[in-house]
Amino acid sequence: MTDFSGISGKVVVITGGARGIGLATATALRALGAKIAIGDIDEVSVKESGAARGFEVYGRLDVTDQQSFETFLDDVERELGPIDVLINNAGIMPTGRLVDEPDAITRRILDINVYGVILGSKLAVARMLPRGRGHVINIASLAGETHIPGLATYNASKHAVLGFTDTLREEYRGTGVRFSSVLPTLTKTELGSGVSTPALLRPAEPEEIADAITRLIVEPKSKVRVTTVAGLISQVVGLLPEALGDALGRALGAQSAFLDDVDSGARKAYESRVRG
């Protein structure tokens, strides 16, 4: 049985914490005694979420802006003490064919999903290294291990997060600072609204991802995939010859899940928000 007592008192910062996986994770860790700081670009929602759940620090955070990120981390350390865990969770997932994706959206995906993770990691590691301890957890996706039509730029961003995190794990081996990636399947959050679930798979609950992150904090490892079945399928497809792997993906419905099968009406509010 996993012992979660070590989480009590830890200072945990979560980006994109106003809703979805970020909020579920913050709630789970707070219940175990962690000191929670959530930041989000949506200032109204993050303040509502933070106040309602009694988190210690909550406020606006633009992960693409160095001054915003640095100021937020400074405020956290001034209020709560040294940061033990940074969870780079903020991310967006617009869907559609690449040729229909405006340049501004391409840049926005990369700015938030890649640069935001790199910037947050850099700022956190600079604080953690002198202390000889700390844990950076980057939320990637099973999309980072495969290729799904309708998510070309998003896929690229999550491949980048995985490569980046693995590199830091080796670059700072032996320093006391740990690095982990979390690879969720499609999850029942606003990000996954209006998207059909491929055959043989089920969407994960945000609480399942939160549980995986919680376990990573007490039992660190390089990667965790959620759900187990989706993770196994992703790994198997990656090991197959290209033609066979692609055919299996099509048989599971990946070819249309994020294109023709998307319920644009159900997804309209999310797409409008993340596209600015």
Q: What is the pLDDT of residues 176-226, one digit of tens each?
A: 999 999 999 989 888 888 887 766 678 899 999 999 999 999 999 999 999
Cα angle 59-60-63, degrees, rounded to a multiple of 5: 125
CA-CA distance, 175 to 204, in Å (whole number)? Answer: 34
pLDDT of residue 72: 98
Mind listing the pLDDT tens digit for each residue in 1-10? Answer: 789 999 999 9
The burial of 92, by beta-carbon neighbours within 10 Å (0-12 exposed, 13-18 middle, 19 or more buried), is given as: buried
Q: How confident is the model at residue 34 (pLDDT cuts 50, 70, 90)?
A: very high
Higher pLDDT, 263 or 113: 113
Give the mean pLDDT of 223-234. Answer: 90
Q: How confident is the model at residue 24 (pLDDT cuts 50, 70, 90)?
A: very high
Prior bond of 2 cis (ω within 30°): no
In the predicted model, is pLDDT for residue 258 greater than 80? yes
Residue corresponding to tokens 């970020």: 22
pTM: 0.94
In the predicted model, is pLDDT for residue 167 greater than 70? yes
Catalytic residue list contains 58: no
pLDDT of residue 200: 65
Residue corresponding to tokens 């980046």: 164
Mind listing the pLDDT tens digit for each residue in 91-147? Answer: 999 999 999 999 999 999 999 999 999 999 999 999 999 999 999 999 999 999 989
Residues 6+ apart with CB under 8 A from 100: none
In the predicted model, is pLDDT for residue 71 greater than 80? yes
Token pair belonging to 141: 């996706």
CA-CA distance, 114 to 232, in Å (whole number)? Answer: 25
Residue corresponding to tokens 């197959």: 240
Contact 15, 90 (CB under 8 A): yes
pLDDT of residue 8: 97
Q: How confident is the model at residue 230 (pLDDT cuts 50, 70, 90)?
A: confident
Q: Look over the chain and give the mean of its residue pLDDT values, rounded to a whole number.
A: 93
Of the residues 58, 115, 154, 270, which is catalytic? 154
pLDDT of residue 229: 87
Helix (H) or strand (E) segment spanning residue 36: strand 35-40
Sign of CA dihedral 245, 248, 253, 255: positive
Taking every pair of Cα atoms in the chain, the longest distance, rounded to a whole number of angstroms, is 54
Higher pLDDT, 258 or 133: 133
